Structure 1
Amino acid sequence: MVAEEAGRVKAASPCPAAMLVSGGAAAARRRATMARVKPIVNREDVAPEHHALFDKLAALRGRISGPSTIVLHSPGLARPWNEVSEYLHRESLVEAPQAELAVCATAREKDCGYIWNAHVPLARKAGVGATTIDAVRDRRSVDGLPSAERAVILYVRQLLQNNRVESDVFDELLKAHNPAWLVELTSWIGRYQALAGILNAFEVTPNAPAEVLPAAPRAASGKARPPLPAPRVTQISRRDQVPEPHREIFDAVTEGRGSVRGPFGMLLHSPPYCRRHLDVSTYLRFKSQVKLESKELTIIATAREKDCPYVWAAHAPAARKAQVSDAAVIAVRDRADLTSLPAAERDVIDYVRQLARTNQVAQPVFDRMRAQHGVTGLVELTCLTGHYGIVSAILNAFEVAPAPDAERLDP
């Protein structure tokens, strides 16, 4: 099942990085500290009009746990958000060994003890060997591992460390599978990166006893290279490219956009997954409590951290139209100092940066963001940066570039 399966909702203090050091009494005390917001674990924690949703989610795995205890602060988002996980775990084309290995490798890259503890047992059950799991945990070389496992780990590491996947790794997985499979593998990685963001930002960790991720040196990452001149697989842009039973999903994509473009040209290789992704996107675009200015600033800050020229080209103009200051757009683009920006813009950018770069958010920044946006708004903003992490992963891995005359985002 999903990351929600590992223990009761507890939190490290002052940050989830406590889960990365050696165990002992101090770590045990840290794990006993509650999460940064009240986790929703009981039916009475939500308004009566949301009891049916609570009951449905609780019935899936016997209780509400993990990321769901946070995302349920936004009941409207929780329904489509959860359906993505249910699809991946029940219907995905990616076989359990590769899926669980990708999740574990993502948990390691994002320093997320909760996901690690939830999914290492599932990876072992799926047949992933101890040598492979140890190599992921300790960030060791993958030389000598079975080729299929080696390729999945390299795919995760390259995508999350460098925001690109090199052609030999991409081509090996594509040759062994097909575009739909690889779209879904990329979505597994993006999805668990997003879940790790929620768990890390709100400091949700597994209950003791739990395996503690050891401190392990992280490979240095250089500048992301520009996108390749052409996408790596055919982009779907016409209705007749989609199998007849799934053409209504093509229609749903074009209904709000006029045409298929950007990530949807790749996501439609897996129409059932695409529909669920679209439902989350629709909520975040049109129903979220996050104000438009903060929403667009979050998106461009995510695009910058993910070195995603397509998302930048699509949303930098939208950010200016939403009254994000030119100074903020430039500071995001250039990775510049934020001191001179208005507090509201500075905190949104800093929140995204900290979560992307350090896998945690400093308490003062979290507190100011909570005061500014409220718990529901901050949950939705955290899911928004996670969602655009998924979008960026698809665009970056499949090398979808913006139009030549679009606003540039240099590495």
Structure 2
Amino acid sequence: MLVSGGAAGVARRRATMARVKPIVNREDVAPEHHALFDKLAALRGRISGPSTIVLHSPGLARPWNEVSEYLHRESLVEAPHAELAVCATAREKDCGYIWNAHVPLARKAGVGATTIDAVRDRRSVDGLPSAERAVILYVRQLLQNNRVESDVFDELLKAHNPAWLVELTSWIGRYQALAGILNAFEVTPNAPAEVLPAAPRAASGKARPPLPAPRVTQISRRDQVPEPHREIFDAVTEGRGSVRGPFGMLLHSPPYCRRHLDVSTYLRFKSQVKLESKELTIIATAREKDCPYVWAAHAPAARKAQVSDAAVIAVRDRADLTSLPAAERDVIDYVRQLARTNQVAQPVFDRMRAQHGVTGLVELTCLTGHYGIVSAILNAFEVAPAPDAERLDP
């Protein structure tokens, strides 16, 4: 879906307090979770940002945080590229919290003021250093059009390797997910903070159908994975029978794949969100991200979970939701609003909280973010479903 220009997500002033009580003190969690709280607090000196929300689901918080720890401590992506990608993602998602947290880190990593200003003001990247230009275009194209043009993809792949590009894509998807949490729950930066200006999106390519073949070799055999990491291949196949879909790309970076798998396992099989709401969230995310693979994998699963045919069709066709049952309508509307406007209207948020509880809503928000990461990998690397799979047209 091609996103039109405009100031989506900055049209109204953010609330000054989060929509749920942020978890910042040890006493905010049950005693059995004190060790987890202490571990997370020790990493950065305190609990802040997305963690204050995700800790409402302690079972999810552990694997969720381990993804961040890998990216920040072990990622193949060098700090200048990673922090620039995070800032560009924050700008696309109109997330003031991430912007204010990471612009200083980008500057410290050597990203120049001209580049940061171009990202903030959504200006053309012409004239910027080629490496910075490519990273910004990659973010803009992936988040605005759900695809990356071949010249941009190939430039980064040639300069690096598949594992590096998998991790860069995961940085973008990860911070898109974190922005979703912060925006949905209205977690704002502490004053004084730079306010992201309203600005039309810079041109970043165009919407197009997927390409017919993956852009890099998919990993499907154990011998394609380095010996020290083959247990990660085994962990993927244990739960799924084979390596397919996003894991064929994620296994180019086995250590990151392991952490992604742990989050996926929790959200799919341990989350307190009811199965029908989970599957509806996943297909609504697939539609917003124009991801044929996720749609083909989960539309049948949604029907099996008792999601109504009317809801599946409404999601697929981006149709009006008025005639749907309230529970289905609100889930779809929540995902749509977060994806399209980077915010959620208060009545929708309140109904979702009443329906799912705080923990359930946190997990559902993380679920749409997680499948945003999955869709980013599949779309950027052009992984298509089987030819006879259920179609999702642009």
Any conservation in 1 of the 2:149–2:205 contact (CA below 8 Å)?
no
Q: 1:221 to 1:177 in 2, by over 3 A?
A: closer
Aligned-residue offset at 1:226: 1.9
CA distance in 1, matches of 2:7, 2:369: 33
Aligned-residue offset at 1:219: 4.4
Q: Name the residue aligned to 1:310.
A: 293
Any conservation in 1 of the 2:249–2:377 contact (CA below 8 Å)?
yes
Any conservation in 1 of the 2:85–2:171 contact (CA below 8 Å)?
yes
Unaligned 5+ segments in structure 2 are: none
Aligned-residue offset at 1:30: 6.6
CA distance in 2, matches of 1:220, 1:25: 14
CA distance in 2, matches of 1:307, 1:240: 32
Any conservation in 2 of the 1:183–1:394 contact (CA below 8 Å)?
yes
Q: Tell me the SS of whatever aligns to 1:233.
A: coil
Aligned-residue offset at 1:266: 0.1
For residues 129-152 of structure 1, give each alpha carbon's deviation from its aligned partner in whole angstroms, at most 9, with x where no partner exists.
000000000000000000000000
What is the percent sequence identity of the aligned residues?
Answer: 99
Any conservation in 2 of the 1:20–1:215 contact (CA below 8 Å)?
no
Which piece of structure 1 moves more, 226-235 or 331-340?
A: 226-235
For residues 168-189 of structure 1, give each alpha carbon's deviation from its aligned partner in whole angstroms, at most 9, with x where no partner exists.
0000000000000000000000
CA distance in 2, matches of 1:220, 1:149: 16
1:149 counterpart = 2:135: no
Any conservation in 1 of the 2:225–2:233 contact (CA below 8 Å)?
yes
CA distance in 1, matches of 2:304, 2:67: 31
Q: Tell me the SS of whatever aligns to 1:31.
A: coil
Aligned-residue offset at 1:161: 0.2
Aligned-residue offset at 1:24: 23
For residues 314-370 of structure 1, give each alpha carbon's deviation from its aligned partner in whole angstroms, at most 9, with x where no partner exists.
000000000000000000000000000000000000000000000000000000000
Q: 1:83 to 1:332 in 2, by over 3 A?
A: same
For residues 268-309 of structure 1, give each alpha carbon's deviation from its aligned partner in whole angstroms, at most 9, with x where no partner exists.
000000000000000001100000000000000000000000
CA distance in 1, matches of 2:244, 2:254: 14
Any conservation in 2 of the 1:23–1:212 contact (CA below 8 Å)?
no
CA distance in 1, matches of 2:33, 2:114: 45
Q: Tell me the SS of whatever aligns to 2:12.
A: helix
Aligned-residue offset at 1:108: 0.1
CA distance in 1, matches of 2:109, 2:131: 14
Q: 1:267 to 1:24 in 2, by over 3 A?
A: closer
1:22 counterpart = 2:4: yes
CA distance in 1, matches of 2:243, 2:52: 34
Unaligned 5+ segments in structure 1 are: 1-18
Any conservation in 2 of the 1:20–1:213 contact (CA below 8 Å)?
no
Q: Name the residue aligned to 2:376.
A: 393
Q: 1:296 to 1:223 in 2, by over 3 A?
A: farther
Aligned-residue offset at 1:31: 6.9
Which piece of structure 1 moves more, 21-30 or 271-280?
A: 21-30
Any conservation in 2 of the 1:21–1:212 contact (CA below 8 Å)?
no
Aligned-residue offset at 1:35: 0.5
Q: Tell me the SS of whatever aligns to 2:13.
A: helix
CA distance in 1, matches of 2:2, 2:94: 7
Q: 1:303 to 1:222 in 2, by over 3 A?
A: farther
CA distance in 1, matches of 2:205, 2:308: 29
Q: 1:407 to 1:59 in 2, by over 3 A?
A: same
CA distance in 2, matches of 1:174, 1:183: 10
Any conservation in 2 of the 1:36–1:203 contact (CA below 8 Å)?
yes
Aligned-residue offset at 1:68: 0.1
RMSD: 3.5
Aligned-residue offset at 1:29: 13
CA distance in 2, matches of 1:333, 1:398: 22
Which of 269, 289, 305 is 1:286 aligned to? 269
Any conservation in 2 of the 1:249–1:271 contact (CA below 8 Å)?
yes
Q: 1:221 to 1:289 in 2, by over 3 A?
A: farther
Q: TM-score, normalised by structure 2?
A: 0.96
Aligned-residue offset at 1:221: 8.1
1:52 counterpart = 2:31: no
1:137 counterpart = 2:135: no
Q: 1:25 to 1:172 in 2, by over 3 A?
A: closer
Aligned-residue offset at 1:227: 1.4
CA distance in 1, matches of 2:141, 2:166: 16
Q: 1:25 to 1:269 in 2, by over 3 A?
A: closer
Any conservation in 2 of the 1:22–1:214 contact (CA below 8 Å)?
no
Q: 1:223 to 1:39 in 2, by over 3 A?
A: same
Any conservation in 2 of the 1:109–1:157 contact (CA below 8 Å)?
yes
CA distance in 2, matches of 1:110, 1:260: 31
